[in-house]
Copies of this chain bind each other. A is one copy, B any other.
Amino acid sequence: MLFLNAKFIDLDLGENAVIVNEEDLKGTSYYPQDRVLIESHAGSVIGNIYSTKTMVQKGEVGMLVSELAEISISEGEEVKLRHAEKPESIPFIKKKMDGQVLNPHEIRTIIDEIVSKKLSNIELSAFVSSTYINGMNMDEIGEMTKRIAETGDMISWEKNLVVDIHSIGGVPGNKYALLSIPILAAAGITIPKTSSRAITSPAGTADVMEVLTNVELKEDEIKRIVKTTNGCLVWGGGVNLAPADDIIINVERPVSIDPQPQLLASVMAKKIATGIKYTVIDIPVGKGVKIKNEAEGAKLARKFIELGELLNIKVECVLTYGGQPLGRAIGPALEAKEAIEALQDPKNAPKSLIEKALSLAGILLELGGAAQIGEGQNLAWEILESGRALEKFNQIIIEQGGTPKKPEEIELGDYIEEIIAPIDGYVTDINNTGITNVVKEAGAPRDKKAGLLLNSKIGNKVKKGDVLYTIYSGSEERLVSAVNLARRVYPVKVEGMLIERISKF
């Protein structure tokens, strides 16, 4: 055991850490990177040892501010370090690596230790890799989903019919929720929409909404807003919903894997945690999105429905076309602008955006009893076209703490470059991944003013010199970088009708 005096260290290592003088480790059984339990009179916390010659003196232990808070001590007070026991879930992770089925206790232990940060990134990556490779059966997924929800905050509602729309993502420009939610809320349907910020995309729904209003709200604020307006469009991370999910995502991202058990659990755990009883899940299908073809989409849809049954949540899935961006705008500010324009003047809005927003809203209008079967889309259009959706949207913006803006009031990046068609021809492809990368290179999602506006979409005829799309950025350097990338990856492809000329046999 080591007895050391706590010293505050201002460093965010993304994990619990304690910094100990090399001299204090010599001749002990404590090594750098050992996992230790740090105990005070008031509690204990787990962390990894890192060593220094000078950052803390002999007899001191450098601790992060969050750790000091967790065990309620101040600088200078004594703490006790001792070897932390190996996480209880290690043999269960090993079991999944060996291709076995985990029982409910084992799954709950793994999730609990993820949330309490007892598992290191190495251990967590081994778990995620093994579920990716060996899979999980529906009982395992159901148990994991429930536990991911239970280990965070749970919101409950007085009303019974609380609905939700969820996209499993991958389509750039996917801002339809800014239309669908107010349409539904205007029809009296309760739809407390929590969304994520961008993970790998240039703009999550929360990022887009944040251009217009506050999205970081606490549970009681969300409840008040939904009570007043029937809906909301907030960031899920403002509430402690399914915290295991974010931790798991952090180890999936570097290797670009998204194991299906985790995907299913991630989506449905947030439904449980937000008290949703009915959800429509939008599965975009196409090149450059998660799901490449309809058969794959249908298979995933069946799994969502099966899992929903286990969890007492009614799930309906829709496969939507995801082969090119939705609408013309990609990037937080541009998407917010396009959404408001569509709410103001839906007849002149991009057809793909309107169609998706209406069809998803339509399903829920029918389910919610606001429209007859087969009449949902028509009612949705009526609400949109009459301006009631815009009115509701503005009400939500105000309740969340913002001020409604006109489209022209939304600030876009000052650094702009137009990319023009190199030849006469047709737009034969718009590459989702290419578009995403260019917009991220321009600075999105952190730079909300960064984005890309498409002038043409697949099938459109263009003349040499026509503007194909415009890139926006808040920084000159990043604009240059995005333009360079665009010139390399060529995300909007123009081809003449003549594809190839063969002159010799």
Interface residues of A (CB under 8 A from B): 1, 9-14, 19, 27-29, 31-33, 50-55, 90, 93-94, 97, 99, 120-126, 128-130, 132-134, 251, 254-257, 440-441, 443, 446-447, 474, 477-478
Contacts and interface: CB of A to CB of B under 8 A. Distances in A.
A154 to B, nearest CB: 29
Contacts of A125: 121-123, 125-126, 129
Given A1-B477, A474-B27, A50 B13 contact: yes
25 contacts: A1-B477, A10-B55, A11-B19, A12-B51, A12-B52, A27-B474, A28-B443, A29-B443, A29-B446, A29-B478, A94-B256, A97-B257, A122-B124, A122-B251, A122-B254, A122-B255, A125-B126, A125-B129, A126-B128, A126-B129, A126-B257, A129-B129, A129-B133, A130-B133, A133-B134
A54 B93 contact: no
B257 A52 contact: no
A492 B29 CA distance: 24
B28 A446 contact: yes
B10 A53 contact: yes
B52 A11 contact: yes
Contacts of A254: 90, 120, 122-123
A99 B97 CA distance: 14
Nearest to A82: B481
A28 to B, nearest CB: 7
A50 B12 contact: yes
Contacts of A133: 97, 99, 129-130, 133-134
A254 B11 CA distance: 25
B52 A446 contact: no
Contacts of A12: 32, 50-52
A28 B99 CA distance: 43
Nearest to A120: B254
A493 to B, nearest CB: 23
A126 B126 CA distance: 6
Contacts of A32: 12, 14
B123 A122 contact: no
Interface centre among A32, A129, A255 (most CB of B within 10 A): A255
Given A94-B255, A120-B254, 16 more contacts: A9-B55, A10-B53, A10-B55, A11-B19, A12-B51, A28-B446, A29-B447, A90-B256, A94-B257, A120-B121, A122-B122, A122-B251, A123-B125, A125-B129, A129-B133, A130-B133
